[in-house]
Each structure stands twice: as C-alpha cells, then as structure tokens.
Amino acid sequence: MRRFSAAVALWGVVALHVPAARAQSTGADPGRIELSAGALWVGHQALGSTAANETTSTGTSLRLFSTSSDLAGAAGFEGRVGVRLSHALVATAEASYSKPQLRVSITNDIENSTAVTALETMQQFMIGGAVVWYLPYRFSASRVAPFVTAGGGTLRQLHEAATLVATGRYYQFGGGVTHLFASRPNRRLKGLGLRAEARAIVRQQGVAFDTRAHLAPTLAAAIFARF
Amino acid sequence: MNRRHLHVACAALLALMCAQPQPALAYLKFGVPANGRQVTLKWAQTPVRYFISTQSAAAGVNASEFQAAVARAFATWEAVPSSSISYQLAGITAATPGRDDGLSVLGFLNRPDLDRVLASTSFLVDRVTGALVESDIFFNASFIWSVDSAGAANRFDLESIALHEIGHLSGLGHSALGETELREGGGRRVLGAEAVMFPIAFAAGSIAGRTLKADDIAGISDLYPAADFEGSTGSMSGTVTKNGQPVFGAHVVAFDPAKGSLVGSFTLNAQGQFSINGLSPGPHIVRVEPIDDAEVDSFFDANGVDTDFRVAFSDRVVVVPRGGDSGPVTVTVVRK
C-alpha cells in the first residue's frame, strides 16, 4: 500500500501546482460531492501457461499435457463516490462487480486427447480509491472536460458457488472525459452528466497460475450527479 | 490371535496384489477384510518399529550401507510435514523378511525366480480387528544394487526402491501416475512417473525415485494426517461415465496449474465414483484415462475394469475448497 499512497500524494502535489486548473463549470460551484454509477468492461487477462509434467529417469520432465489460462473479458457494474478537493482534483471511493470466466485451455496431451477448454465463472469484486485530476484544457464544447485518474485497492474473487476466495490488489491508471448534461450551480443537484473513461488495471495475486502481475484494459461509462 | 498373511505389494518391475482397494479414497490405500467389514490397512501406533535383517548385504551393498540407505528412505517419508507417520529402528535381527514373527524386518532375499521383482512388501494383519501387526520388505539379492549418491550405471538404486516399499509398509498401494512403453524383450520401460508409488521402477542407474511427489504426499497424509492436514487441504469427488453408464477402474488425475502438482485416484465402485483427498485448495484440471501403463492387477483386482475409452478432460475448472469438497464432478468418456 505504500506505493499507492505515494501515487496519491504525487497526484495531489501535481494538482496543487496547476494554477489554471478549472473544473467543468467555469467559475461556478461544481459541487462538492459526486456520485456515479455505470457499467464497465474489464478486458481479458492472460494468467500464464503451465504444463502437467512427470519426471523421467534422468530427472527431466515428460509433459503429460499443457495448459494456458486466462480470465476472459467481462462486463460489470461500478459505483463511485467522489469528494472534490479542489476545482481540479477529486478523490473517489469506488467499487465494482463483474463475473469473468476463468478459461483453461488444455492442449498437447501425451495421448493425443482432443483439446479442451475448461471453464469456470467467477465473481470479482474490486474496492478501492482513486484521484481524478481534471486537466486544465477545455474542448470547444464547454461541457466536456478531460481528466486523468490513478488509484488502487483490493480485489476479491469468488470461485464458483463461493467455495473459495482469492484475494489480491489492483492498481489502475487511465483517463477519460466527463460531459455535463445540465449544470445548476444554485440548486442542491448541481450537475448531471456522463463519464467515459479507459483504464489499465494491473492486478497482483488473486486467481493466477503464475506470480506475475496481470494487466487488463478496462472501459467504463457512468452517469454522475454532483451535489 | 486369528491372523492372515497378506502378500500385498511388489514394487518395481512387476506387481502382485491380493488386497482389495479401499473404495472412493485418494490414490490407493489397501483395504483388508476384518470381521465382515473392510478396514483401511494402516498402523494403529507410531512410530512404526522396524528391524534390519542380518541378511542385509548383496551385490553392490554392504550391511551398513543398506541400513543407511533404508534409514534415508524412512526419513524421507517421515519428513512429510502434513503427515504424522514416524518410524524407529528397533534393532538388528537374525530373522528374515516374510516370516510371521511379529517383527517388521527389512533385508535381502535371493530370489532369482522373481526375475522382474526388485523388492516386495508383505503384511501380517489381525483378521478380527484389521490391525496391521507386521510388515516385511525383502529386496531381491539377485539384482545388482547401488547406494551411490549419484546412482551407478546398471545398478538399481536401493534408496529409491526402499522409498517405494516403505510406502507400501505404511499402507499405500500403487499409483497410476506414470507413462510407460512396452519393451521388445517383454515388460515395460518407464517414460515418466509422478509418484514414487508407481508400480514400475525407473531403469537401473536412475535416482529419480528418491523424491516424494504430490501424489505420495497426499496419500501418506491421508493415511496419517497431521493436525492441520484436513483443514488446509480439500477434496474432489465425482463420477466417470461412458454412454451413460458408470466406468469402473478409470484413473482420475487432478492437476493444480498453480502448483504444477498431480494427484491421482480411481473410480472404485459400481457407480463409477471417485474421490481424491489431500488436494491443494484452488482450481484444478481433471484428466481421466484408462489404466494402460501397467498391468491392471498391479493396482487392484482386474475384474470389471474398463480400459476401452479415450483420455478425456472435465470441461469444468474444478475448484477445491479449503477443508471441503469440490462437489460432484462428472466426466464423460468415449470408446476408443
């Protein structure tokens, strides 16, 4: 978690030193709290290849069969609560849920068995936080604002029938845009809009057949409301 | 005491087995009839006390080398952290292996008539209680042996063969985790094995059989579990069918891709059911194959064993929970 804390701190420092940073509604109160809910798609993650080996008389390996595993891309839901720290900077707490399929492709059987892909549907929960920095640039349509984001959190993956839990950590970074449908600075509901983003999620531990970190592209779209 | 002498295991090149396999349990444990019921063959008390016969020298090995090699093999089984089995050298005896004298004796016998048997383990079992009273191991002095740390060409490694036989002495049967090919002059050559308890030995000169594998470790731990064994491992159970009918005698292998470990079992009842205990928690791949890499009767009674089907895999990733069972797994096989 130290690395994550360092990343947050770095983003905070960068944001504080951008004097012209503007939120979406120029000069107006953009709202302190932001709630959003939407859909996300977490892309495919390769989990590595392993072989089922037997030992030969000389101590070398005799391959019984090979496996190649991945976590298939899956759609899910995501919710987020954000607190505006400055015009340009928002800290968020977020949670997502998806049901990716664990796929293990079995090939090269020593007895020439037909190749098979064994499957299992998992439930994946990610709970964490991020910082969102609204860039000091504006598109010509003033209601669109670009941002970058970085964060991380914990990962919890439930195997079928919730018989076993795999836990891990994730880190993410990416960017996107928000588009305000309506801005009402003087009302309690100060804004309503759409947020679209692309992120890269780096997962450590959780379901894996190797010790590497695993990278997955992620797309998300959400409706947000600012208060 | 009403006793019966059961010759239940011969290691290495040929296996002879009379005991019944214990149904629906991992690997292969021996079951013996006792007072009208089937009892798992195991020692009621540990450490298991063993004696070294004064007939412990043969071509390539002297008495002290024999004792040291056997001690290393006992120590290897004893070092399995998930098992509580332990052994103790009780002394040197003039008794020979195979005599019903209440002593578990290890030593050489010259048996040139058993030209494919490197060693053999026999048991003396109390027929009333099913308790294991004695287990002897003889090594065939008609072969040339080696205790060289790196092995020796054309000599069989005593420690490797002792490790296999001590598995039997402890109550384990044979594992089918191995691949073989037929030799021109008869018999089989081992291409690879992933269990010390595979019934056919590696070729002379090899020392690859000195290391216990996941299947051996699961087996000994299932028989003599350490305190945390059941809570820290899980099991898998299911059925193998062909044309909708149960398959008897199918070899079922669970592979853990995260650890690279293989643990096997068999379908051992009329319903084609299997169960594998002592598995590492997590996702597993299940492979089912006919027993065709050793004689079927080196594992259990060959009657009714179906070997007419192709290798098949479960189309499910089977998740083994910690301290629990995977739930029923069904694997369908088709005829060759």
What is the C-alpha to C-alpha distance for residues B90 and B87, in angstroms, rounded to an integer?
Answer: 9
Q: What are phi and psi of B232, to 5 degrees?
A: -100, -5
Q: How many Cβ atoms are within 10 Å of B189's Cβ, its own excluded?
A: 14
What would the pLDDT profile of A121-176 be if each residue is shown by its tens digit? 999 999 999 999 998 876 665 788 899 999 999 999 989 877 888 899 999 999 99
| pLDDT recorded at residue A29 | 64
| pLDDT recorded at residue B13 | 30
Q: What residues in A contact B309, CB-CB < 8 Å?
A: none
| pLDDT recorded at residue B105 | 96
Instruction: Indicate the residue of B179, B203, B321 with minimum beta-carbon distance to A54.
Output: B179
Instruction: Indicate the residue of B311, B317, B322 with minimum beta-carbon distance to A120.
Output: B317
Q: Which domains does chain B have, with CATH numbers?
A: 3-220 (3.40.390.10), 233-333 (2.60.40.10)
B313 and A106: CB-CB below 8 Å? yes
Burial B90-124 (b: 16+ CB within 10 A, else e): eeebebbbbeeeebbbbbbbebeebeebbbbbbbb
Q: Which two tokens stand for residue A151?
A: 């964060």
Tell the burial category of B269 from Cβ atoms under 10 Å away from its Cβ (0-12, 13-18, 19+).
Answer: middle
Nearest in space to B118 (alpha carbons), one of B177, B52, B53, B163 = B163
* pLDDT under 50: residue ranges of chain A: 1-26
Q: What is the mean pLDDT of chain B?
A: 88
Contact between residue B126 and residue B42 where contact means Cβ atoms under 8 Å apart: no
Find the length of chain A: 227
Complex ipTM: 0.89
* pLDDT under 50: residue ranges of chain B: 1-26
- Please give the full DSSP string across A49-105, using - where no structure is assigned: EEEEEEE-TTS-EEEEEEEEEEE--EEEEEEEEEEESSSSEEEEEEEEEE-PEEEEE
Q: What residues in B contact A207, CB-CB < 8 Å?
A: 283
- Is 2.40.160.20 the CATH number for A2-15+28-44+64-226? yes
What would the pLDDT profile of B209-266 be if each residue is shown by its tens digit? 999 999 999 999 999 999 999 999 999 999 999 999 999 999 999 999 999 999 999 9
pTM, rounded to two decimals: 0.86
Instruction: Indicate the residue of A59, A104, A119 with minimum beta-carbon distance to B208.
Output: A59
| CA quadruple B243, B249, B250, B254: dihedral, nearest 10 | 140
Q: Which two tokens stand for residue B11?
A: 């290691």
Q: What residues in B contact A57, CB-CB < 8 Å?
A: 190, 202-203, 205-206, 208
Q: SS3 helix, strand, coil % of chain B, rounded to 5?
A: 15, 40, 45
What is the C-alpha to C-alpha distance for residues B265 and B278, in angstroms, rounded to an integer?
Answer: 11
A62 and B315: CB-CB below 8 Å? no
